[in-house]
Amino acid sequence: MHPLALLLLGLRLAGAGFKICAFNAHGFGEAKSGDTWVMGALILVRCDIAAVQEVRDVKGDAMQALLRELNRYDPSHSYAQLGSRRLGRGTYKEQIVFLYRADLVTVTDWYQFGEAGDFARGPFAARFHVPSTAIKDFVLLSHHVSPRDAPHEIDQLHQVCQELSQRWGTQNMMVLGDLNAGGAYVPHNAWGSIRLRWDPRFHWLIGDGVNTTVRARTHCATTGTRVAWGDQHGDVGGLAPPIAGRTGGAESPWQRLSVNLWGKGVGVGERLPLSTLQSPTLGLLWHWCRLEGRGKLRDSSPLTPSLPPRIVVQGDELLRAVVPGSAKPYNFARSLGLSEEEALQVSDHYPVEVNLYLAGQAPREL
């Protein structure tokens, strides 16, 4: 069904280093179809270690099926898993699962944090020994941040890293996963109090403006979001009509309105601060569109922001082992030739990935 895609993926892996991935699988479990397991295998077969989040697999059957697909598609390696306990304070539970190539990777220890106080779902950490990499030993800490308390949980991950450093005697640590680190969940003025962000020992490898959402009409990265209004034909973009005394721009009753809430500044079609998400600005603009009959709300980005997974590295030694420019999202829809609808059956987010230098390769100078 996908031999050409697998061949292309294999070619991309050649000489790429040791690949670490994080993937929010969006409710992965028995409810997902067999085709979804196949697609999941096609995505994760690229990774030497993958932190898979939002696994809702009570019996474990879905993860076993995914492992079978991985081992079938890539018989040159032997895949294994290490799963957290089921996480969550209420009836909703999910897991974090590390999938890894057991012929290359050894899990030397792991630790599960609890959910008392700081976290709605406890972070999960594992220590890995990989002799084929330039750094050999490192810790991966994966956490699916609750959007209801994102600034506090992201900040507390700083303390978690310090506890793990003391427990295992290493600074070589990577935080990865869906941190919900942006949009309306983390206001711009909250970043100054988030230690994981401003402590110079931590390096954020995925840029603030990078989008990893599958939905083409939704984009909200770490520092802002965008929303578009469409004309009567459903088109988006064009010049902004006059509003609040502004002149020019409107050419017809159905002239299109495009509002960009990204960065600094004010005004329609200009750059607005993130605080407008929690101010009357959007409401006034929508009220104007409704009264004037000149547009309709096309994209609900402020209400359903797409918040990308992140990769954060602690310590200069691990940072030197990272291949420059390798930290990025993997657009599996484009690589596997999927429509948006087909891709959404797998997940609403693309995975993020980063490569480590192999042993014998020269680590970069900082």
CA–CA dist 100, 59 (Å, integer): 20
Which residue out of 143, 144, 203, 219 is catalytically annotated? 144
Which residue out of 94, 153, 158, 353 is catalytically annotated? 94
340 is catalytic: no
Q: Where are the beta strands (DSSP E) in 264-319?
A: 296-297, 310-314
69 is catalytic: no
Sheet holding 202-204, edge to edge: 106-112, 124-129, 137-142, 173-177, 310-314, 202-204
* Contact call for residues 97 and 126 (beta carbons, < 8 A): no
Taking alpha carbons only, the member of 185, 117, 200 closest to residue 151 is 185
Q: Which DSSP string corresponds to 92-146? A: --BEEEEEEETTT-EEEEEEE---SSS-SS--EEEEEE-TTBSS-EEEEEE----
Q: Which DSSP string corresponds to 148-213? A: GGHHHHHHHHHHHHHHHHHHHT---EEEEE----STTTS-GGGGGG-HHHH-TTEEE-S-TT---B
Taking alpha carbons only, the member of 152, 161, 200 closest to residue 180 is 152
> Which residue numbers are catalytic?
94, 144
